[in-house]
Chains A and B, each alone.
Chain A
Amino acid sequence: MNPIAPIFYTEEYKDATDYFRGIVKSGETSSRVLELTEHIIRMNPAHYSAWQYRYKTLLALHSPLDEELRLMDALAIQFLKTYQVWHHRRLLLTALNSVPAAEAELAFIRRAVAVDTKNYYTPGRTDKELLEADVRNNSAWHHRFFVVFQSGVRKGDEDRELVLRRELAFTKEKIALAPNNPSAWNYLRGILEYTKTPFSTITTFVEPYASTSRSSTAEQEIVIDLENPYLRKEGGASTMKAVEIWRSLANVHDTVRKKYWEHRIKDALSSIQK
């Protein structure tokens, strides 16, 4: 037999996993299993069998799961991108099913998100930079969309008209702060579509950003996201205005997407001819 892509194991890993296979076979659940699985996980956090068996052992031993959770805090930050780490946390929290644990979890998540987005405080970073980093955090925008629109109506949010106005104001403010941020523009488009609000209602807000006469570097990316406000049933003159902007994107400001903008122009022109 000629194995494909064998991994050159260290003696330490080989011994630990040999031992682990023996334990799985015998079905042993004991505190040394917890030590062993932690040892393996630290060497290879993607070892899903070690995680599975560790969880089974914790339950069998009636181990305090909140202690396990604290141990996991360190591992989660160290192996932020490893699925198993988070899956294990989720199992623990579900089993714990307690309010203090859930609250601690929220605090922990905030820390982890900060690490993930490198949005933690480092000396020399100004408040403005931190705020900007937050505005640019695409995850935060998605989270907001879910909380506001997809998770049921929260107390105080019964007036949906008011909620929409609040979200529009919030988003416009953030766009004004960092106009070339596609995450915020995508959110703006998302809430308009979700609430079936015509894009034309925000024309006056958008227009200054869409001016094709300006040509600062920031401008280049801003205009990218302005393809919509003139369209949607309006046709005629507003379509021609959109086409004009798209042409400048295709030829000057956003040439990497030249073919995309040309495709939009073709689509728009054929829709007026209909």
Chain B
Amino acid sequence: MSTKIPLSSLGRSGHSSHCRMCLLGLPFSQVEVDSSRIAVVFYCLGTLDLLGVVESKTSEIERETWRAWLWEQQTSSKYGTGFQPSPYMTTSAASTDHTEYDVPHLIMTYTAILSLAILRDDFKQLDRSGIVRFLQACQQEDGSFSALPNGGESDLRMMYCAFVISSMLNDWSGVDIDRAVAYIQRCSSYEGGYGQTPFGEALGMSALMFRNFIHYQSLGGTTYCAIASLHLVPDTPSSPISERISPIQRARTIRWLAQNQTSSGGFCGRTAKDADACYCFWCGASLSILGEGGLVDEDALAAFLLRCQFKFGGIAKAPGERPDPYHTYLSLAVLATLPPHTDDTSWKLPCLDTLWNATQDTTNWIKSHISDHNDLGSE
């Protein structure tokens, strides 16, 4: 360990206030989250969960009405059941009257289940078999998953969501595992990370060329999605877990992830870019899943995240930037996974389940209220 300045305290109350404020309302400048609102809800509630203040910072009435609001977003369509981002496209009060434009969304379904679990819902309203049908509808010919059953983006983030949902349901019948795993493997890049889509499939004379300049190269976030997915999926005879990541690939991935911790202490998401708080989680958690979390310099990491704290609460992507719930949550999540060496109790955070990306208490809640009920049948 080199000479270190002792860490000051983690600004816990500022971070919980920041997320609490966002739960009450977002300014119009945030309108882009209209079509991904439940994800923001998850980052806010997840922050409160990590800080252990869900019960003290929200009232019982709020939690009850929020659960009701979340269930309102569960929609059944001809493509099966899942959650929409918000009522932003709901055209009718009758939940059976759907257009092609208010179908469920994969990321929202994953984050809605986590949010409901943080709010300790009993999950009696969860349409298990409908969700399995929805996953089937989202899986494409090439093994990937699209965000929506009738189109939308298709990359490793969606794959990860489909895998976590299957793992939560303890039911993998919605996923063609072999095709999905083969797709993930095609996304691996020579650098050691994973791109959002396999490059070869995306070229052609299309705009995707540009998108792929950004997206097929190794990216911290999609590398996490790939690594976590490969560890979530059960063994199959044609794809045993032990053969999913070859020793050479594994060493290359570890090397690339370790390389991403910059001299600032934080991680960057692409080779030779600036560090960003969210990549501290995506890269740090990936190393942790690979059993190599010990390679991270936790104290330098914590020092970087301290500098990303906003003086009025919340954590930003980089020092001097504006905070948001996404970077706040992911910063705390990596601090829970790879805590610094300090006696200061402000840094004490609960255990995180790095595969589902939720506190251990919340994943236990899901296991006892969803996963263990799989044999009861759904209809």
Contacts and interface: CB of A to CB of B under 8 A. Distances in A.
A146 B203 contact: yes
Contact of A45 (B32, B102, B256, B296): B32
B374 to A, nearest CB: 28
Given A1-B68, A145-B190, A183-B271, A10 B214 contact: no
B37 interface: yes
Nearest to B154: A87
Contacts of B2: 255, 258
A9 B34 CA distance: 10
B33 A7 contact: yes
A124 B312 CA distance: 39
A183 B40 CA distance: 33
Contacts, number: 196
Given A5-B23, A7-B28, A182-B259, A87 B153 contact: yes
A46 B101 CA distance: 14
Interface residues of B, number: 81
Nearest to A26: B91
Given A47-B35, A146-B200, A4 B66 contact: yes
A94 B200 CA distance: 17
A2 B296 contact: no
B199 A260 contact: no
Given A46-B36, A87-B153, A194-B190, A105 B271 contact: no
Interface in A1-20: 1-10, 13, 17
B358 interface: no
Interface string B4-33: 000000000000000000111111101111
A46 B35 contact: yes
Contacts of A136: 272
A247 to B, nearest CB: 15
B261 A256 contact: yes
Contacts of A234: none
A93 B206 contact: yes
B272 A93 contact: no
A49 B37 contact: no
B217 interface: yes
A224 interface: yes
Given A109-B210, A139-B214, A186-B190, A257 B271 contact: no
Contacts of A44: 31-32, 34-35
Contacts of B22: 5
B353 interface: no
B189 interface: yes
Contacts of B101: 24, 49, 52-53
A122 B44 CA distance: 41
Contacts of B189: 142
A90 interface: yes
Contact of B91 (A13, A25, A43, A259): A25
Contacts of A70: none
B224 interface: no
Nearest to B263: A256
A255 B62 CA distance: 48
A3 B213 contact: no
A48 B190 CA distance: 33
Contacts of B61: 2
A48 B208 contact: no
A199 interface: no
Nearest to A186: B191
B270 A150 contact: no
Interface string A42-80: 011111110011000000000000000000000010000
B28 A8 contact: yes
Contact of B27 (A8, A116, A145, A259): A8
A11 B27 CA distance: 13
B152 interface: yes
B211 interface: yes
B125 interface: no
B245 interface: no
Interface in B211-239: 211, 213-214, 216-217
Contacts of A47: 34-35
Nearest to A53: B101
Interface string A249-274: 00000011111100100000000000
A106 interface: yes
B163 to A, nearest CB: 21
B271 A86 contact: no
Interface string B59-97: 001100110111010000000000000101111100000
A260 to B, nearest CB: 4
A4 B205 contact: no
B37 A93 contact: no
Contacts of A125: none
A248 interface: no
B376 interface: no
Contact of A150 (B200, B207, B261, B265): B200
A225 B28 CA distance: 46
B294 interface: yes
B271 A13 contact: no
Nearest to A97: B205
A121 interface: no
A239 interface: no
8 contacts: A3-B69, A4-B69, A86-B211, A89-B207, A224-B259, A227-B255, A257-B258, A260-B258
Given A7-B25, A47-B35, 8 more contacts: A2-B61, A2-B68, A21-B91, A93-B207, A139-B217, A146-B200, A186-B191, A255-B2
For the complex of A and B, the 8 pairs showing the least CB-CB separation, nearest first, are A190-B190, A2-B65, A102-B205, A89-B207, A139-B213, A260-B258, A142-B217, A109-B210
